[in-house]
Amino acid sequence: MSEVTITIDGQEVTVPAGTTVLQAARMAGIEIPTLCHDPELTSPGACRLCVVEIEGMRNLPASCVTTAGDGMVVNTISPDVMDARKTVIELLLANHPEDCLTCERTGQCRLQEYAYHYGVRGDVFHGDRTEFPIDDSNPFIVRDLNKCIRCGKCVRVCDEVQGRSIYSFAYRGFDSIPATAMDESLAESECVFCGSCVSVCPTGALTEKMMHGVGRSWELEKIKTTCPYCGVGCNFDLNVKDGKVVGVTSNAESEVNGRALCVKGRFGYNFIDHPDRLTKPLIKKDGEFQEATWEEAINLVAEKFTQIKQEHGGDALALFSSARCTNEENYLANKFCRAVLGTNNIDHCARL
Amino acid sequence: MHEIAGADFILAIGTNTTETHPVLSLQVRKAVKEGAKLVVADPRRIELADIAETHIQHKSGSDLALLNAMANVIIEEGLWNREFVEQRTEDFEALSQAVKDCTPEWAAETTGVSAETIRETARAYAGAEKASILYTMGITQHICGTDNVLAIANLALLTGQIGRENTGVNPLRGQNNVQGACDMGALPNVYPGYQAVNNPDMQQKFEKAWGVELSPKAGLVVGEMMDAAYAGTLKGLFVIGENPLMSDPDSNHVIQAMDKIDFLVVQDLFLTETAEKADVILPAASFAEKNGTFTNTERRVQRVRKAVEPIGDSKPDWEILVMLSNAMGYPMQYGSPGDIMKEINAVTPQYGGITFERLEKQGLQWPCPDVDHPGTKFLHKDKFARGKGKFHAVSHVDPDEVPDEEYPYVLTTGRRLFHYHTGSMSRRAKGLAEAYPEEYLEVNPKDALKLEVETGGKVRVASRRGEIEIPIRVTERIQPGLVFASFHFRETWLNKLTNDARDPIAKIPEFKVSAVKIEKVV
Ligand code: SF4
Ligand code: SF4
C-alpha cells in the first residue's frame, strides 16, 4: 500500500494513502476535537469542530472527511481554527440547558470538556431554546433531546452497527432532532435496548436510567470483565462505587464486541446485589431452612457424602456442574467429583 | 465471530440469533448489508427471517429431511466439490446412497417446504464462494439431534465450505460458559480436554496427576441422573449453579426424582426452585465477585474479574469446592483461580498455553498448546481432528411425539431476548423484569380463532406429562398447529409439558417437539 507524508503542526507524519487528516493527526498524537466523528461509524463531517487549516485551501476543511495528500501542510491550532471552533461551541451552548450541575454526563460530556478547553461560556448567544419532553418511558434509557447536539451518532450506530434504524433526523433546521418513527417513545418503538446509542452519545441527551444518581463518572471504578449471560462472550466494564456494582458501560477494547452489547449484558446487572441473594449457608431442619456457619455446613455435607460413598459406592453420588461457573470452577468440580466423590457422574446443562 | 460478517451466504438453521446471541446477530446483519444471501430455516418466523432473502418455515422436527434433500440436490446436480471430497473426506458413497431417494419432492411432504425452495437453497449454498452455517438448539434438541448435526456437516464436506475463513459450521453455544464447562470435563465421559475416561492412558494420566484411583466407567448424563434418582439408586446429589427443576424436561418427573434423593446439596446465588428441595444450601458468589475465565462460543478464553467483594458470607464456587474437598480428606491447595489454571495448563493440551498473564492483555482461542502459541482462529484448516472428514449416512425420523387427535398441537420451546435460562438472574435484574414481566404463548391467528382466545386471554396447555396456564399472544410469526413459549418463568412452568425423550448419542432431550392440547380458561 502506498504512503503519503504530511506535516501537521510542524510535525511530519507518514500514513497509508487514504487516511484522513484527523486519523493522521491522532496517529501523531495530536488531538483534534470532534463531536460527530466516531472511528467505528461513517463520518458525516457535520459538527465542524474538527476543522483545520490546510495550506492552499481557502476554507477550513473538516479534518474527519479530508483525505491526507502527499506534502500537505496542516495547522490544527491556528487562530482562525480556534475561532471557528469557538463559534461552533458557542452556537451549541446557545441552545443547551445549563444543567451541568445535575447532568448525568458531567465529567464525561464532550461538549462540557470542549467548552472548558476553549473557554466558551454559555452566555454568548441567547438563542431560543427548543423544548422537548423527556422520554423515560422505558426502564433503560432516558432521552433528553434538549441536550442533543445533533451529532447524529445515535442515528448512525443504530443503523450501521445494530441494524435497527430506530432513529432518523426529523423536522428541519432548528427543531431537527433524531426522532423515532412517528415520534413515538422508545418503549413504543422497535428498540431492543441494546444501549449502543447511549454508549456513543457525547452529551447527556441519552443516559442509562439505572445509573442516574448513583455517582459521578470520576467516582466510578471500571473493571473489565466478561458477560455472564450468553455464549457470545462480550466484554464490558463493571462500574463500581463504594464496593457496589452501579452500572455497566462499554469498553471499546473488547475483542469480541467492541462497544456493542445487548440489553442483558448492559442492563442485566441488578441481580448482583439483589436482596434475594443467599448470604449464609442454610441447613434444612424439620422442613425449615436454618442459618448455619460454613464449618457446620461443610462438615455436614462432607460427612453425608462420605457416608453415602461408603455405604453405596461413589456411583450413588452425582454432581451437576454449571455453565455459569468459571473454567477454574468447572475444573475443580470435575476433579472433586471424580477424585473425591469417586464417580464420573458429572454433567451440566450443556444440552438445555 | 467476525468471520461471519465476511461470508457471502449464510444458512441460519434452528437458531433465533437476534434473541439468544444478540451481539453475534450483528455480524449476520453486517454480512447481509454487505450483500450476503441469508437463508433462515426455522419453524417460527423469527426476527432474523425479516432480513433474510428466504425463510424456510419447515415443520418442527423435519430438519433432517430438509438437510438430506439439500445433499441430494447437490449430488444429483453435480454441484459438489470433487477435489475437496477426494482429498479431505471419506465415505462419500455412503452418503450418496443414503440421500439418493431424498428428493426435494419427497422432502416437500415431510417439511412443508416447496421442492423449488429446497433446490434453490442447495444451489446457492454449494455455489457460494464462502458459505457459513449457523445452528443452535433448534437443531440439537431433537431425538435425532446428533444426526441433524452430522447432516449439516455432510453439506459442508460435500461443498468444501469448511476450513477456510468465513465458511464452516458454527454451533452457537447458549449459556455463557457451556463451552468452558465442556472443555473442563463437566461431562460424564471425558476428563478436561475431551480425554475419554474409558481410555486407560487417560485414566492413568489423571490418576497420576491427581494421586488417586479413578473409575474407567463413564458416568450418567443429567437425564439419566434423574432416572437413577427416581429408581432410588442415586442417593446423593450436589447441584452447583443449576436449576434442573425448571430447566429440565418433564419437570414433574424431575420433582419426583428429587424428592427421592436422600441428600441434596445446592450451591447457588438464589433460592431457586431446586434449592428449595435441598438439605443444605451453600451461598455462592456471583461473576462480579470472583476471578477466573469463561470460554465463549468461538473457544475464546477470556478473563472474569472481581469487581466487588462477595455479598454476605457467600463464597466463590472454587473456594467452596476446596473447603469441601479438604473436609473429605482430599487436600486441595489453591490460593487463587490462577493457581487452578496452572493445573489446567498441565493436564489439558488445548489449554496448555492459556495463562492468566497472557489473558491480561487479550483473550486466546484454544487449541493453544503452549505459551508461544497464538491460539487458533478456526478449526479444521488443513485437516480434521480425525484426519479425513467422514460422511455419515443419516435419515429422517419422526419426533418422539407427533400430534394426534388428543394432543393436536406441537409445542416448541426457546428463549427470549430479555431473559436468561430459568430466570433466577434476569428476573431479578430490575430493568429486564420490568421490560418483560411475564411469559405468553405464541399462537397463530387461525388457531386462536379456533380456540376462541385473543391476545392476553388465558389458555390451559396440557401434554401427557403435565399442564400449565398461560396467556397467549396471537402472531403470524408462528405456523398454524405450532405454539411457542420460553422456559424462563416459574409462573408458566413450561418444562412441566416437555418430553424427556433423548437423542441416543448426545442425550439431548427433545425440547423442540411436544404434543399438547390447548383449551381456553374460562
Ligand atoms: S438502544 Fe439500541 S436499538 Fe434502541 S435506539 Fe439505541 S441503538 Fe437503537
Ligand atoms: S451482552 Fe448480550 S450478546 Fe453479549 S455476551 Fe452478554 S448476553 Fe450475550
- pLDDT tens per residue, range B105-147: 888 888 888 888 888 888 888 787 888 888 887 777 776 777 7
Mean pLDDT lowest for which of A189-198, A243-252, B93-102? Answer: B93-102
Query: Which of A9, A57, A50 lies closest to A33, judged by CA?
Result: A50
Would the CB of A262 count as within 6 Å of ligand 2?
Answer: yes
Q: How confident is the model at residue A149 (pLDDT cuts 50, 70, 90)?
A: confident
Percent over 70 (pLDDT), chain B: 97
Name every chain B residue with its beta carbon within 8 A of the beta carbon of A40: none
Residues of chain A with CATH 3.10.20.740: 3-77
* Mean pLDDT value across residues A13-35: 89
CATH superfamily of B2-172: Dimethylsulfoxide Reductase, domain 2 (3.40.228.10)
Name the nearest CA neighbour of B36 among B173, B135, B128, B134: B128
Give the strand order in the sheet containing B54-56.
B54-56, B37-41, B9-13, B131-135, B168-171
A234, A300, A324 member nearest B23 (Cβ)? A234
Q: Is B181 helix (H, G, I), strand (E, B) or coil?
A: helix
Mean pLDDT of chain B: 85
Residue B234: pLDDT band (50, 70, 90) is very high
Q: Is A320 helix (H, G, I), strand (E, B) or coil?
A: strand
Chain B residue with Cα closest to A344: B219
Query: Which of A319, A331, A340 to probe the B interface (max B CBs under 10 A)?
Result: A331
Ligand 1 within 6 A of CB of A157: yes
Least Cα distance to B440 among B509, B491, B369, B370 occurs for B491
A134 CB within 8 Å of a chain B CB:
no
Lowest mean pLDDT among A219-228, B12-21, B208-217, B278-287: B12-21
Beta-carbon separation of B177 and A324 below 8 A: yes
- Nearest CA, atom 6, ligand 1: A197
> Any chain A CB within 8 A of the CB of B315?
yes
d(CA B379, CA B352): 17
Confirm or reject CATH 3.10.20.740 for domain A3-77, answering yes or no.
Answer: yes
Judging contacts by C-beta atoms under 8 Å, the chain B residues touching residue A141 are none
What stretches of chain A show up as alpha helix (H) in DSSP? 21-27, 79-94, 110-117, 153-156, 196-200, 263-267, 294-312, 327-335
- Tell me what percent of the residues of chain A surpass a pLDDT of 70: 95
Over range B307-324, report the average pLDDT: 94
Q: Which residues contact B296 (CB under 8 A, 6 or more apart)?
A: A226, A231, A232, A233, A256, B173, B176, B179, B302, B363
Please tell me the predicted confidence (pLDDT) of residue B287.
93
Can you tell me which atom of ligand 2 is nearest the CA of A256?
4
Residue B387: which pLDDT band, with cuts at 50, 70 and 90?
low
Instruction: Please work out whether the CB of residue A209 comes within 6 Å of at least one atom of ligand 1.
Output: no
Question: Which of B485 and A128 is assigned the larger pLDDT?
Answer: B485
pTM for the full model?
0.87
The answer to whether the CB of A228 is under 6 A from ligand 2 is no
Cell numbers placing B465: 406429562
Of A84-93, A174-183, B375-384, B455-464, the range with the lowest mean pLDDT is B375-384
Q: Which residue has the higher pLDDT, A123 or B253?
A: B253
Contact assessment for residue A236 and residue A251, using Cβ atoms and an 8 Å cutoff: yes
* Distance to chain B for A47, nearest Cα, Å: 27
- Calculate mean pLDDT across residues B140-156: 78
> Each residue of B392-414: pLDDT tens digit?
777 777 777 788 888 888 888 87
Confidence of residue A311 (pLDDT cuts 50, 70, 90): very high
- C-alpha B512/C-alpha A50 separation (Å) is 55
CATH code at B409-520:
2.40.40.20
pLDDT tens across B355-366, in order?
A: 998 988 888 888
Across B84-93, B137-146, B498-507, which has the greatest mean pLDDT? B84-93
Q: Count of alpha carbons within 13 Å of B405, Cβ hemisphere only? A: 0
Q: How far apart are CA B185 and CA B237, in angstroms?
A: 18
Average pLDDT over residues A123-131: 66
Complex ipTM: 0.86
A-B interface: how many C-beta pairs under 8 angstroms? Answer: 456
Range scoring the smallest mean pLDDT among A290-304, A305-319, B479-493: B479-493
Instruction: Report whether pLDDT(B382) > 60.
Output: no
Site of grid cell 464462502: B130
Chain segment B185-205, per-residue pLDDT in tens: 888 988 998 888 899 998 999
User: What is the predicted pLDDT for the residue at B235?
Assistant: 93
A308 in contact with B, Cβ within 8 Å: yes
CB atoms within 10 A of CB B481: 16
Confidence of residue A295 (pLDDT cuts 50, 70, 90): very high
Domain boundaries, chain B: 2-172, 178-365, 409-520
- What confidence score (pLDDT) does residue A98 get? 81
Rounded distance from Cα A197 to ligand 1 centre (Å): 6
List the grid coordinates of B97: 446412497
CB contact under 8 A, A262 and B175: no
CATH match for A218-274 among 3.90.79.10, 2.40.160.10, 3.40.50.620, 2.20.25.90: 2.20.25.90
Q: Enumerate the CATH 2.20.25.90 domain ranges in chain A, comma separated.
A: 218-274
B178-365 domain in CATH 3.30.390.30? no
Q: Which residues pair with B502 in a beta bridge?
A: B509
C-alpha grid cell for residue B31? 454480512
CA–centroid distance, A263 to ligand 1, in Å, is 10
Interface membership of B324 toward A (CB under 8 Å): yes
**What span, in angstroms and rounded, lies between the C-alpha atoms of B53 and B136?**
20
Q: Report residue A173's pLDDT band, with 50, 70 and 90 as the boundaries.
A: low
Q: What is the largest CA-CA distance in chain B?
A: 68
Supply the pLDDT for residue A331.
Answer: 96
Q: What is the mean pLDDT of residues A222-251?
A: 92
- pLDDT exceeds 60 at position B27: yes
Ligand 1 nearest atom to the CA of residue A193, by list position:
1
What confidence score (pLDDT) does residue B53 get?
A: 83
Please, what is the angle between helix B145-159 and helix B115-127, to 10°? 50
pLDDT confidence of B78, banded at 50, 70, 90? confident
